[in-house]
């Protein structure tokens, strides 16, 4: 069960990127932003929700919302935004890295509600050891794709008049 959960979380962004032809580079960066929000202000947001007397949301629910919403909104908003050809295949690198980061951060939150023990899984242990490489590769690939795709200039197809 734990391996199936991890595989689903890892492959989900890649499958959505491929099907929606979305920009996985910006989706990875949005996921990093969601993770930063969880890390830096999750307790403040949980305190704010506690003041609204919404008792049905747990801290894991709030963290999952803060993590998943930027990722999925970015994939939806960049629908048909990825360039075709070789660059589209390059989108799989940040998509798989986004899945790896999503699995590393969200799987423990899901495992509590699904009664799954991740610590017994060898796949989980290997992924924990490779977590910094996953984030580094995803960040490097995302930034390279954003930088190279964001600075292209339009070529004029008409003749210049004197």
pLDDT digits (tens, 9 = 90+) for 142-161: 999 888 875 444 555 555 55
pTM for this model (two decimals): 0.80
3-state secondary structure of 85: coil
HEC assignment per residue over 12-77: HHHHHHHHHCCCHHHHHHHHHHHHHHHHHHHHHHHHHHHHCCCCCCCHHHHHHHHHHHHHHHHHHH
Q: Is the CB of residue 34 less than 8 Å from the CB of residue 71?
A: yes
Vertex 84, ends 21 and 80: CA angle to 5°? 30
Residues 92-112 pLDDT 10s: 999 999 999 999 998 888 776
Read off the pLDDT band of 132 (50, 70, 90).
very high
Measured between alpha carbons, how far is 103 from 105 in angstroms, rounded to an integer? 6
Q: What is the pLDDT of residue 70?
A: 93
What is d(CA 135, CA 89) in angstroms, rounded to the nearest whole number?
19
Whole-number Å distance between alpha carbons of 139 and 97: 8
Nearest to 105 by CA among 162, 31, 157, 46: 31
Nearest-10 Cα torsion for 67, 62, 108, 136: 20
């Amino acid at each position: 069960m734990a391996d199936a959960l991890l595989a689903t979380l890892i492959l989900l962004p890649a499958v959505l990127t491929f099907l929606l032809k979305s920009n996985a580079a910006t989706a990875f960066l949005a996921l990093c932003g969601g993770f930063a929000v969880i890390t830096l202000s999750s307790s403040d947001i949980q305190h704010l929700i506690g003041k609204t007397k919404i008792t049905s949301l747990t801290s894991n629910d709030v963290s999952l919302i803060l993590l998943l919403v930027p990722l999925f909104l970015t994939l939806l908003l960049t629908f048909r935004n990825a360039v075709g050809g070789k660059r589209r295949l390059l989108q799989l690198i940040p998509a798989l890295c986004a899945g790896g980061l999503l699995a590393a951060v969200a799987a423990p939150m899901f495992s509590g509600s699904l009664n799954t023990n991740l610590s017994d899984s060898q796949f989980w242990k290997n992924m924990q050891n490779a977590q910094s490489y996953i984030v580094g590769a995803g960040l490097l690939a995302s930034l390279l794709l954003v930088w190279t795709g964001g600075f292209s200039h339009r070529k004029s197809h008409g003749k210049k008049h004197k």
